[in-house]
Amino acid sequence: MTPEKVRVSVGMNPPILLVDNSHTVTLNGAAVVRVEAPSSMKNHAPIDLVTLININQSMSWPAASQTEMPSRLDLLKNAMKFIIRQIGDDDRLAIVAFNDKVIKENTTGILEISGSGRMAIEKKVDGLVAMGDTAFKPSLEHAVKLLDDRADKKRAGFIVLISDGLDGQFKWGDESIAATDPIRGLLRKYPVHTFGLGKAHDPKALHYIANISYGIYSSITDNLDNKFIEALAVCLAGFKTVVAVDACVDIWSNSLMVTRIDPGGYILRGSSGGILVGTLYAGEVKDFIVYFSYRTGSWSGGYYTHLNGIAARATYKEAPGRQSITTDTCNVSLPIHVANSSYPPANPCPPYPMVLQQMVRFKVLDLLMSVLKEFLVLKEEAASAVHGKEGGDDPVLQAIAASLLQRKWKEFKQSDESWKEAPRNFLDLGGIDQDISTMVGILKQGLGVGCIHSWVSSYQMQRATTTGLPGAHMVATGQFRTPAMDAMVQEAHRQLAKEASAQDAGTSIVCKRAVELLDGVNKRFDLWCKLDHDLPRTNQPSSHQEEGHESRDLTAVLRGDINRARQHDIYLAADHAIKQWRSFLASVEKTHGQGPDK
């Protein structure tokens, strides 16, 4: 059976209607070029995954406000074990622990998963201890070097970066990193998918690192025990279903003038009209807007013609090192009819619904990016006012950002023609409207701008992520998620349910065993107390004492001996119970994974 191929299609305007006129007219329009990855794959293409784990001091903090909850590091270890057990035997994995530097004793090279690889990596994960500060650059450089130094580069390479902290050594962003800085070229070698945990992580830095490398940024600020493993499951499902690498789309027209191409978060390849798409997962769809213009002739009424419209094709490889594949060229013609009428149509180039939908999405992206830029300015001004102290988590700043977003969104809906045109083309954009309203509410609560950065990241790359938005409109459960991602998330939920059940069972077993051991010690104590109680009182006269013999209180001597023997016996019984308890806990932990709460 021949495997499915990547497909390219073009959606353009309906036929253009012109009035009879004796002069030329410039027409402007837009089209969508769609790239569709096959929905299924013949075989899983092996991958090399390098996971960067930030083990700064705050990772030891509780994952929630309750002190009895597990720490963030505990949840991370659990989620990493899910990843280790889900990747294929042909895959390879490296763990890089870092704070403000790479922690070599908790770091591995790129290891084969088959054989003892899983066990060796899990052991490294179990040994992680939270300490120190945070700096991303050393770990990223280390990860790229690991992938660059591979002897076998026939696997697609990916990097995952997990952090709950702020980089104290480097400022991430176009405004602070020079165009010639080597870090830019370094990050473009392999996709870096970033995950921010808790409200105190740096969404701007993690979004920048992901965006420049063609990765995705996920924000997980609450419900970490469920949402973190779900976010990793979405990401891993993509890695396991790679159907194309080094993908590029070429766009051109022989009749129309292509005035602009909007690639979203992707990069245009010079002036050739190409878009660098990179990696495609099975079932993914990418839409790009192509704006064009055309100068008509002096045509009389009744004239009819077909123009060569927008043409597109894609080039890609099924895996690194393989031969390039080029899709068939998709060429859509543009019919033009010149009518006998003195009244020109209001819009001679009405937007195609698919075009209109993508235009609205990209405009909303621009709006949110402008809000984030203004928030950054406010943050920097606040930081300088307090002599360099970070002000990004200031609820006052977030309240200002909420008001700004609310005002700009209201103005957009009132003034943007594309937004107003959508209902007339039967397009439902209510999900976007609800997302923006939810973002305003989150900012008013002081929960950070991570939800905006992750939403922008998802729509820029047209790929599923976790936004931190509650409810059904969270992008990780929305339109960009593929069937493989749905299946992997379900598997993650099953794993969580299984662990919860095992935790309950383990807790019940532990409680029962604890009662048994304590009951054994208590019974020995009761026996000694009974023996002590049965002795006659110290001053009771004895009929067996000889006259004239020096008085001696045998009962007191016996009671003293019994007390000493009792203390020694209870000590031995308690020591034996403690040893049995420790041995029992070790066996429970081995059987149930993490074991019950101690």
3-state secondary structure of 35: strand
Give, for 124, the enclosing helix (H) or strand (E). Answer: helix 117-126
pLDDT of residue 102: 96
Confidence of residue 572 (pLDDT cuts 50, 70, 90): confident
For the segment 8-14, the average pLDDT, to the nearest whole number, is 82
Give the strand pairing for 92-98 and 47-54. Answer: parallel
Q: Are 469 and 438 in contact (CB under 8 A)?
A: yes
Q: Judge whether residue 266 has pLDDT over 90.
A: yes
Residue 102 per-residue DSSP state: B
Distance (Å, whole) CA 49 – CA 71: 25
For the segment 244-266, the average pLDDT, to the nearest whole number, is 93
Distance (Å, whole) CA 536 – CA 562: 13
Report domain 7-41+243-349's class: mainly beta
Distance (Å, whole) CA 204 – CA 172: 7
Contacts of 459 (CB under 8 A, 6+ apart): 264, 361, 364, 365, 475
3-state secondary structure of 7: strand
3-state secondary structure of 334: strand
Q: Judge whether residue 539 has pLDDT over 60.
A: no
Count CB atoms within 10 A of the CB of residue 266. 21
Q: Judge whether residue 389 has pLDDT over 80.
A: no
Confidence of residue 516 (pLDDT cuts 50, 70, 90): confident
Determine the CATH number of domain 44-240. Answer: 3.40.50.410
Q: Judge whether residue 34 has pLDDT over 50.
A: yes
Q: Judge whether residue 552 has pLDDT over 60.
A: no
Average pLDDT, the chain: 83
The dihedral sign for the CA sequence 181, 184, 186, 192: positive
Count CB atoms within 10 A of the CB of residue 190. 22
Q: Judge whether residue 99 has pLDDT over 90.
A: yes
Distance (Å, whole) CA 231 – CA 49: 16
pLDDT of residue 571: 72
Distance (Å, whole) CA 378 – CA 392: 9
Give the strand pairing for 156-163 and 47-54. Answer: parallel
Confidence of residue 218 (pLDDT cuts 50, 70, 90): very high
Q: For residue 378, report the phi and psi dihedrals to the nearest 5 degrees.
A: -60, -40
- For residue 142, give the nearest of 155, 161, 124 by alpha carbon: 161
Q: Are 93 and 49 in contact (CB under 8 A)?
A: yes
3-state helix, strand, coil in the chain (%, to 5): 45, 20, 35
Confidence of residue 38 (pLDDT cuts 50, 70, 90): very high
For the segment 120-141, the average pLDDT, to the nearest whole number, is 93
Q: Are 185 and 154 in contact (CB under 8 A)?
A: no
- For residue 480, give the nearest of 237, 251, 290 by alpha carbon: 237
Distance (Å, whole) CA 441 – CA 452: 12
Q: Which residue type, as a one-letter code, is found at position 256?
A: L
Q: What percent of the chain has pLDDT over 70?
A: 81
Count CB atoms within 10 A of the CB of residue 490. 12
Q: Which residue type, as a one-letter code, is found at position 224?
A: L
pLDDT of residue 529: 75
Q: Are 482 and 284 in contact (CB under 8 A)?
A: yes
Q: Judge whether residue 358 has pLDDT over 80.
A: yes
Average the pLDDT over each of 129-138, 187-196, 214-223, 505-514 and give the range with the smallest value: 505-514
The DSSP annotation for 414-441 comes to HH-HHHHHTGGGT---HHHHHHHHHHHH
pLDDT of residue 302: 76
Half-sphere exposure (Cβ direction) of 40: Cα atoms closer than 13 Å: 4
Task: Tell me which of 430 and 197 has the higher pLDDT.
Answer: 197
For the segment 427-446, the average pLDDT, to the nearest whole number, is 89
The DSSP annotation for 273-289 comes to TEEEEEEEETT-EEEEE
Distance (Å, whole) CA 59 – CA 253: 54
- For residue 11, give the nearest of 362, 256, 355, 359 by alpha carbon: 355
Q: Are 448 and 203 in contact (CB under 8 A)?
A: yes
Q: What percent of the chain has pLDDT over 90?
A: 48
Which residue do the tokens 């769809």 mark?
A: 285
Distance (Å, whole) CA 483 – CA 172: 34
- For residue 190, give the nearest of 212, 164, 162 by alpha carbon: 212
- Where do the structural domains in the chain lie, given as residue ranges? 7-41+243-349, 44-240, 350-481, 491-533
Q: Are 448 and 164 in contact (CB under 8 A)?
A: no
What angle in degrees, to the nearest 10, is found between the helix axes of 353-385 and 450-461?
A: 150
Q: Are 294 and 257 in contact (CB under 8 A)?
A: yes
Q: Are 237 and 487 in contact (CB under 8 A)?
A: yes
Structure tokens, 109:
């090279």
Q: Judge whether residue 276 has pLDDT over 90.
A: yes
Average the pLDDT over each of 275-289, 340-354, 443-457, 517-531 and give the range with the smallest value: 340-354
Distance (Å, whole) CA 4 – CA 176: 44
Q: Judge whether residue 545 has pLDDT over 70.
A: no
Average the pLDDT over each of 133-137, 420-424, 450-454, 498-502 and give the range with the smallest value: 498-502
Torsion, Cα of 175, 176, 182, 183 (10° steps): -100
Task: Tell me which of 332 and 576 has the higher pLDDT.
Answer: 332
Q: For residue 507, report the phi and psi dihedrals to the nearest 5 degrees.
A: -65, -40
